[in-house]
Structure 1
Amino acid sequence: MGHAAAGLDDLTGFLARLTALMLRSSGEGAYSIERAVSTSAQAFGGQASVVLVPEAAVLSIAAADGRIRTVCVHGLPEVIRLDQAAALKPFLADVKTGRPGVAEADRRLARIEAASPPYPWWLKFLGVLLFSLGFAPLVQPTWYEITTTAVLGAIAAALVVASVHAPRLSKILPLVASAIVSVVTIEVFTDGPAHGGPVLLMLPALFYFVPGDFLSASATELAVGLITTGAIRFVYSIFLLVQLYLGVLMGVFVTGTPLNALFDTAAHADLPKWALVLGGIVFTAGTVLAFAIPHRFFGTLLVLVYATVGVQSLFTELIRETGGTFVAAAVLAAAANLLDRNPGRPPRLILILPGFFTLTVGSLGLRGLTTLAGGYVIEGLQDLQKLITIVTAIAIGLVVGMALTHAPATTRPTSSNAPSMPQRPP
C-alpha cells in the first residue's frame, strides 16, 4: 500500500481511536463501522474483526507479524458533531489508498477528534430554533403554530446549548425540555381547539429531542442483520420517547390540566404556499447549524429535503402514506449512495439525515402516548400502530434504496474461527 506494515501497538491504537469516533457518530446506524475499520486495518498490513453494539465495540486485531490483540472501545451514539463525520470521509479515503503511515494517520485522526465545533454556541442556538420553525408547518400549517414555535423553540434551544456545559442536564434533557415546554404551552398558548391541541403546539419545539431517526435506524439495522445493535438502539429510542412523554405529563399535572385536553385537534390551515416552501430552507439551515454540518453542504442537503418531501407527497396521493413514505425513503437512500461516491460530496450519513427527519416518524410515538394518556384509547393505539408501520416502511425503503444502487455490504461477515482473522475481500 506504499508504506511498511504497522506494528501491533500502533495499529491497535489507531483502530481503537477510529472505532470510538465512528461509534460516537453512529446515531443513524452502525452499518458502516465494520467495513471502514476492516479496510483501514488492511491498508496497514493487518486485519480486524469487529463485534458491535450501539455504544461499544470489541476489536480483534492481527498485525502483519501474526500477533493478535483484542480491545474494547466505547462511544455513545449521537449526531451532534457531524463535522467530524464529514472529516472522516476524505481521511478514510486517504488511508485506503495508503498515503499516510499509521503514525501520521493516528495524528490526523486525533486532530479530527479534538477539533472544536465549527459554530459558536449562539449559532447552535439559532440552528435548533430554525430546525423547530422549519418543521412546524409539517405539524400544523398555521401562523399560530409558527408563532408558538418561535417562543417554545427558543426555550428548547437554550436548554440544548446549556446542556453542552452541564453533563448532568444532558442525561435527562428530553425530560426537562418536554416538561418546561409543556407547562409554557398549556399556560400561555393553549386557547381552545381553534389553534390545535397542546401536543401539536409542543411538537415542533420538541422535535430536536424526538428519536425518530434512532427508531428508523434501529429498524434498518434489524433489516440488514445487525440484530443486537438494532434491538438495543430500538430500546434506547423507546427510553428517549418515554422521557418526552413523561415530561409532557408533568406539565399537565403541574398546571392542573385535565388529561383529556391532550387530544390531537388540528387547526384549520392558513399558511400560504410560499411559507411552506420557505420552511424547507429554514429547516435545512437549522439542521446544518444544530448538528454541526459544514455549511458548504447546504445546497446539496436542501435539494434532498425538497426531493424527499416531494416524492413522499406525490406517492402518498397515489398509494397512501405508508407507500409514499417507503418510496421516499428508497429514493433518499439511493440518491445518498450515488452522491456519496463523489469524494467532494458529504458522507452518506449527512446526506440522509435532513431528508430522514422530514419523514417525521418519531412524532407519531409521542402523539400516540399522550393521546392514550388523555383517555382516547382507540386514537392513541392508531397512532402507535401507524408508528410501527411507518418505521418499517422507512427501514425497508432505505434497504431497497441501498440495494438498487449497489451500496457496500452492511451485513457482518462471519467465520467459524474468528481468532484466526481470515482474509476478507478488499
Structure 2
Amino acid sequence: MTGPAAAADRGQERHQEATEFLTRLTRVLLRTSGEGAEQIERSVRSAAAVYGATADLVVVLDGATVTVASQGRTTTKAVREFPEAFRMDQVVALKPLLADIAAGRLDVAEADRRLTAIESARPPYPGWLKLVGIVLFAVGFAPLMQPTWYEVWTTAVLGAGTASLAAAAERLPRLATVLPLVAAAAVSLVTLEAFARTPAHGGPVLLMLPALFYFVPGDYLSAATAEMAAGFLTTGAIRLVYAVFLLIQLYLGVILGLVITGRSRHALFDVAAHGDLPRWALFLAWIVFTVGTVLAFAVPARLTGPLLALVYVTVGVQAGFTELVGEVGGTFAAAVVLGGLATWLAARPAWPPRIVLLLPGFFTLTVGSLGMRGLTAVAGGYPIQGFHDLTKMITLVTAIAAGLLLGAVIARRPATGP
C-alpha cells in the first residue's frame, strides 16, 4: 500500500507505539515514585518529545492519566500502580534507559524492550537475604532508640518476626493490605509479654519501634510535604492521608497487643533505659543499618560504600548542628547537605538516581517513628508527651522536606540551551 493511506497507517502505528511505551513508562515510574510526582512528569514528557510526541499527565498517588499527542492523533490512557520502594535495582536501571532515550540512541521498539527487561528482572538478592536485610535494618536502627545491648538483641528477635511477615505478605496479597497492623500487633504482643516487664529495659514502644521501622512511613510523609510545596496539592494530600493511615495501622496493632495481653494502657510508658553500648558499637551500627538497607530494598551491592558515606555525613551534620542550634535546626541542616550531595552526585551519569542516594541517609532522620510514639503515648495516658511527639513529627517532617528541597535547588545545575 502506498500513498496517503499508507502514510496514515504508518502514522497510526508510530502513534500507537509511542502511546503504549509512554504509558508503560509512566506505570514503572509511578511504582518507584518515592520522591513524588514531579519526576514522573519530567521523565515522560522528555521521552515523548524525543519520539515526536507530547505528553500531558495528571498524577495522583496510585494512578495517572497520560494523554499522548502525535501524528495528528491524541490518545488518553489511565494507569494504576501503587508506589513502593522495595526494588531500588529497577530504579537504578531506569536511569541509563532514560538517558539513552534523551540522547536519541533508542527507537521506541528498543526502548520498550529494555523497559520490559527491567520490569521482568529478578531481584538482585534471594528471598532469604532480603529477610536478613530487614533484620539488619532494624538492628542498625535500634541504638538510635536506646543505646543498650538489650535493645539490640530484642530487636534482632522481633525483627526476625517482622521480616517473616513481610516475606509472607509477598505471597499473600490479603496479608499485604494489613501488614503494618498485623506486624505491629505481633511485635506488641511479644514485647509486652516477654521483653517489657520492667522499666529498667526502657519503654515498650522504644523496644518495638526498631522492628517496626521498616513499616513506618517517614518517606511518604516527607514526599507528601515536598509535593505540596512544589504545587502537586492533590498528590501530596493523598500521600499524606495514606501515611497517616499507615501510622494508625501501626498504632492500632500496638493497642491490640495491649488488649490481647490484658495489660493496662499505662504499660505504654515512654522511658529510656540507661545506655550501655560503647562508642564503637554505635559507630558500627550505621554500617549494619546501611547493609540492611541495601539488602532489604534491593539496592545494587556496588552502591554500599557510597551510601554508607552519605549516612555518616548525614549523621555527622545532624549531630554537629544539633549541638549548635537544636534538633530542628540540626535535622534541617542534615537534610540540606544530604539533598545537595544526592542531587549533585545523581547529575553524573555513572551515579544512581537521587532517590537511591537519599534512601538510607533519609531513614537516619527517623521521622515517622515520632508519629507512632506520639500516638501510643496518648493511648497510654500520657497526652502531654504524646502531643509533644506529634508536634515534633510535624515540625521535623517539614524541616526534612524543606531541607532536601533547598539542597536540591542549591546543587542542581542551571538549565542550558533552549
Task: Compute the TM-score of the two structures, normalised by the length of structure 1.
Answer: 0.94
- Contact kept? 2:34, 2:355, Cα under 8 Å: no
Question: After superposition, what is the alpha-carbon deviation per residue over 1:224-253, rounded to whole angstroms, capped at 9, x for unaligned?
Answer: 111111110000000000000000000011
- Contact kept? 1:131, 1:282, Cα under 8 Å: yes
Tell me the distance in 2 between the aligned counterparts of 1:80 and 1:354: 13
1:345 counterpart (345, 348, 351):
351
- Give how far 1:408 is off: 8.1
- Give how far 1:406 is off: 2.4
Tell me the distance in 1 between the aligned counterparts of 2:32 and 2:357: 14
| Equivalent residue number for residue 68 of structure 2 | 61
1:301 counterpart (299, 304, 307):
307
- Give how far 1:49 is off: 1.1
2:31 counterpart (24, 45, 67):
24
* Superposition RMSD in Å: 1.4
- 1:39-188 matches, cutoff 5 A: 39-63=46-70, 65-188=71-194
- Contact kept? 2:368, 2:393, Cα under 8 Å: yes
Tell me the distance in 1 between the aligned counterparts of 2:88 and 2:38: 17
2:215 counterpart (192, 197, 209):
209
Question: After superposition, what is the alpha-carbon deviation per residue over 1:313-346, rounded to whole angstroms, capped at 9, x for unaligned?
Answer: 1000011000001111111110001000111111
Tell me the distance in 1 between the aligned counterparts of 2:332 and 2:319: 12
Three-state SS of the structure 2 residue aligned to 1:51 is strand
1:403 counterpart (401, 405, 409):
409
- Quick check: 1:7 aligned with 2:40? no
Equivalenced residues, count: 407
Tell me the distance in 2 between the aligned counterparts of 1:316 and 1:38: 41
Letter in 1 for 2:51: F
- 1:334-413 matches, cutoff 5 A: 334-406=340-412
Tell me the distance in 2 between the aligned counterparts of 1:119 and 1:351: 19
- Give how far 1:66 is off: 2.1
- 1:313-332 matches, cutoff 5 A: 313-332=319-338
Q: Would you identify which runs of 4 or more consecutive aligned residues in structure 1 move more than 6 Å?
A: none
CA gap of 1:66–1:206, structure 2 versus 1, over 3 A, is same
Tell me the distance in 2 between the aligned counterparts of 1:407 and 1:220: 20
Tell me the distance in 1 between the aligned counterparts of 2:249 and 2:35: 20
Tell me the distance in 2 between the aligned counterparts of 1:166 and 1:117: 18
- Contact kept? 1:330, 1:398, Cα under 8 Å: yes
Letter in 2 for 1:138: L
Gapped runs of 5+ residues in structure 2?
A: 1-9
- Quick check: 1:219 aligned with 2:199? no
Tell me the distance in 1 between the aligned counterparts of 2:150 and 2:413: 43
- Give how far 1:74 is off: 1.2
Letter in 2 for 1:20: R
- Quick check: 1:35 aligned with 2:51? no
Task: Compute the TM-score of the two structures, normalised by the length of structure 2.
Answer: 0.95
Q: Which has the higher relative contact order, 1 or 2, with Cα contacts under 8 A spaced 6 or more apart? A: 1
- Give how far 1:31 is off: 2.1
